Amino acid sequence: MSAMRFKRAVVVGASGGIGAALASALVDQGVVVHALSRRGGAATTKLVAGTIDIEDETSIAAAVLVLSAEEPIDLLVVATGLLHADGIAPEKSYRHYSSASFERYFAVNATGPALVAKHFLPLLRKDRPSVFAALSARVGSISDNRLGGWYGYRASKAALNMIVKTLAVEIARTHPQAACVALHPGTVATDLSQPFQRGVPAEKLFSPETAAKHLLDVISTLNVSNSGSILAWDGTEITP
């Protein structure tokens, strides 16, 4: 499987750093890309811009309705995520978390991608290999947690990993050639990671373009045996 074999892709979160880079890289490879985000955007010959709000199921359903009359999708990437926002930051201690911050983390990092899958997965091709990928994070691994902290973000990404695994089990029954995976892009120089980039070695702080290349390289190697996996930017498997 390679990006060049993809005819049609959907990138949800296409206005973010990684999402925009993914959409651009796919367009450069000749793929028709439906780039969806809250802000929408400018369309080109190969890029079809549209709006979506992953915290609003009505918005997700409306976005699917626009695409459902066209050809099936070869690749669906959910490139959304929340690490910090007004009034929300990764917790250093259990004393710092709140129900409001947990609800927001889960809404964006777990429930949103789950709802995207609910509405978009029926559009995936059944007659040849296809991919559903959601951007997760290594800190969502329970077995890899040695530092503690970041309760809401860790828990929401762990939930996303479980959602992806469960989707992989179910989708195998209807789309036997599909791979459903969670992808860890590494630390990327975007607004999401900006407050936490200090101390990250230069060689491990990726530009969005480099991260997109890494992720598409991983996607190009996928087959059904990878479905349900959590994979890092270099293709190594992350234990749940």
Share of the chain above pLDDT 70, in %: 91
Phi and psi, residue 132, nearest 5°: -115, 125
- CA dist 197 and 186 (Å) reads 11
Give the pLDDT of residue 192.
Answer: 65
Six-digit token string for 199: 């101390």
Per-residue confidence band for 85, with pLDDT thresholds at 50, 70 and 90: confident
In the chain, the DSSP E strands lie at 8-12, 32-37, 47-51, 75-78, 130-135, 178-184, 187-188, 205-206, 230-232
pLDDT mean across residues, the chain:
91
pLDDT at 195 > cutoff 80: no
Q: Do residues 24 and 15 lie in contact, with contact meaning Cβ atoms separated by under 8 Å?
A: no
* pTM of this prediction exceeds 0.85: yes
Q: Other C-beta atoms within 10 Å of 86: how many?
A: 5
Give the pLDDT of residue 68.
Answer: 86
Give the pLDDT of residue 39.
Answer: 84
72, 26, 10, 50: CA torsion to nearest 10 = -120
Give the pLDDT of residue 87.
Answer: 83
> If one looks up domain 3-203+222-232 in CATH, what number appears?
3.40.50.720
Indicate the range of 104-118, 186-200, 218-232 predicted with least confidence. 186-200
Phi and psi, residue 223, nearest 5°: -145, -175
Mean pLDDT for the stretch of residues 59-88: 92
The amino acid present at 6, given as its one-letter code, is: F
Query: DSSP characters for 152-174?
Result: HHHHHHHHHHHHHHHHHHHHHHH
pLDDT at 1 > cutoff 60: no
Mean pLDDT for the stretch of residues 42-54: 86
Mean pLDDT for the stretch of residues 131-150: 94
Give the pLDDT of residue 9.
Answer: 96
Per-residue confidence band for 44, with pLDDT thresholds at 50, 70 and 90: confident
Helix 57-67 with 112-120: angle, nearest 10 deg: 30
Give the pLDDT of residue 42.
Answer: 67
